[in-house]
Each structure stands twice: as C-alpha cells, then as structure tokens.
Amino acid sequence: MPNRALLLKLLSAVILFGAWEIAGRVPVSFAFPTFIESMSALIEMTLNGMIFEAYAETLKPLAIGVAISAVLGIAVGLWVGLSNTFDWLFSPIFIVMQAAPLAALIPLLVLAYGIGLTSKVLVVCIMAMPVIVLNTSGAVRNTPESFKEMGRSFLASEFSIILRIVIPAASPVIFAGLRLGISAGFIGAILSELKITPTGVGDIITYSRSIADYPSMYAAIFSIILLAVLFLNLLEKIEITLFKGNQRDYVSN
C-alpha cells in the first residue's frame, strides 16, 4: 500500500509537470515558461547560492511567527476550550481573523510597525494563530466527558484532569492544527515579502518579474511550494508516528 501511494504521487507529479511543459511550449502566454526552463533557473540559483541566501531571509520571520503562534495559539486555545465564557468572548475574534482578507490589513500593520521584521512576523501570526487556536479549542471542547468523569471518580483535581486527560486526548487534533497553522504561516511569510518589503524569496519573485525573467520567477515560486510540501509531509509523518491508532480529524481547515 505505501508503494502504491508513492507511485500515485509520482504519477500525479509527472502529469502536472508534463502539463506545465506542454503549456509553456504552446505557449499559453509569453510570460509562462516551460517546466525545463524554470528548473534550469532553479538549478542555477541553487548553484550560485542565491536561493539559500533568500531563504535565510525568508525563514527568519516565518520561524519567529510560527513559534509565537504555536505557544500562544495552543495556550489560548486551551483557555478558550475549557471555558464557555472565554469561548463566547474570543472565538469570534479568531474566526474573523481567519476570514478577514489579510492583504487589506497589511497597510495598517506597516503604518503601526513599519516595514521591518516586526510587521512580517505579525503577518505570519495573523495567518497561523487563528487556525491553531480554533483547532486546539475545538479539540479540548470535544474531549469525551466520560474521560473527565473517570478522572473525577478517582478524585483527580481539575488541573490533573486537564494535564493528564484533556491535553493527551486533544493532542492529535492540536498537532493537526499546528500543521495547518504552519502551512498558513508559509503563505503569510511570502505575502509579507511581496506586500511589505521585497526581501528573500519575495525579492527574487519581484525582481525577476520586473526584468521579465519569468523562468527565475516561476523557479522561486516552485521552490516555495516544494519546501512547504516537504516540510508539511515531514510533519504529517511525525504526527502519524506520535498518534498512531488515534482517530485524527480537523476542526478547522
């Protein structure tokens, strides 16, 4: 079964890249390069070190933003999930944050915090934290009541019930929310580079577009997708290993 799944993934990649190559050769647009041209540009940027320098800049706000979102998001999600009052007060805020068009908020962040690292980290947090909070709160809220009653029957304190029953039972969905939050954080990191200041991979995309170097532009975009897919697949493997046999589901996607 794993070999079959791998073969299907490889087949889908071949179909996608083949369609990309055909579309570039037709051509669909003069600004749409072939897959081979884009990969040649990516190899060139890799060999001269440009792509590594770009990602060193791009991953900085992403790592900081995801770390803040994970710590605060899980803490707030637990708080909201355990209290109906806080659920009523704060859940709508995170729902609105998740639904709000982020591009419209970026000018306000720039006005308040400038065009430096702080604004980019906030963009990542705004993208990642609502997903983490909503998944965590939903997982905690949906912990089977029978588990809690069992703890109380053994005279466990409320803190012990939360620490030893609620959190372990909710962990699979919390981890799934963390994975989805990181995925959203990737989007926020790139969007911040395109909308605030062109640095890192966003700088490559912006500059390549300005000089009509479309193979390099598509190569940079492809590298973002590739990195995100590889990282999220790694997190999925870790999730399956940690919570093997548990029922996993997503509260918010």
- The DSSP code sequence of the chain is -HHHHHHHHHHHHHHHHHHHHHHHHTTS-TT---HHHHHHHHHHHHHTTHHHHHHHHHHHHHHHHHHHHHHHHHHHHHHHHH-HHHHHHHHHHHHHHHHS-HHHHHHHHHHHHTTSHHHHHHHHHHHHHHHHHHHHHHHHHTS-HHHHHHHHHTT--HHHHIIIIIHHHHHHHHHHHHHHHHHHHHHHHHHHHHHT---HHHHHHHHHHHTT-HHHHHHHHHHHHHHHHHHHHHHHHHHHHHTTTS----S--
Whether residue 214 contacts residue 31, with contact meaning beta carbons closer than 8 Å, is answered with yes
pLDDT recorded at residue 64 = 93
- Distance (Å) of CA 136 to CA 59, 69, 162, 236: 25, 12, 13, 17
Tokens of 78: 């637990």
pLDDT recorded at residue 166 = 81
- Confidence class of residue 77 from pLDDT cuts 50, 70 and 90? confident
pLDDT recorded at residue 23 = 85
Of the listed ranges 38-47, 60-69, 196-205, the least confidently predicted one is 196-205
pLDDT recorded at residue 240 = 77
Mean pLDDT of 99-116: 78
pLDDT recorded at residue 217 = 92
pLDDT recorded at residue 67 = 92
pLDDT recorded at residue 91 = 79
pLDDT recorded at residue 1 = 52
Single out the residue of 239, 242, 66, 83 nearest to residue 166, CA to CA.
Answer: 83
The answer for residues whose C-beta is within 8 angstroms of residue 44's C-beta and 6 or more apart is: none
CATH superfamily of 57-242: MetI-like (1.10.3720.10)
- Confidence class of residue 2 from pLDDT cuts 50, 70 and 90? low
Mean pLDDT of 172-176: 85
Mean pLDDT of 142-162: 78
Entry pTM: 0.79
Distance CA 96, CA 81 (A): 17
- Of residues 85 and 132, more confidence is placed in 132
Please check the confidence at residue 68 and state whether its pLDDT lies above 90.
Answer: yes
The answer for residues whose C-beta is within 8 angstroms of residue 134's C-beta and 6 or more apart is: 77, 91, 94, 95, 98, 177, 251, 252
For residue 119, how far is the Cα from the chain centroid?
18
Please check the confidence at residue 131 and state whether its pLDDT lies above 50.
Answer: yes
pLDDT recorded at residue 245 = 55
Tokens of 17: 């890249």
- Of residues 1 and 57, more confidence is placed in 57
Mean pLDDT of 235-248: 69
Whether residue 232 contacts residue 182, with contact meaning beta carbons closer than 8 Å, is answered with yes
Max Cα-Cα span within the chain: 72
- Confidence class of residue 248 from pLDDT cuts 50, 70 and 90? very low
Domain ranges of the chain: 57-242
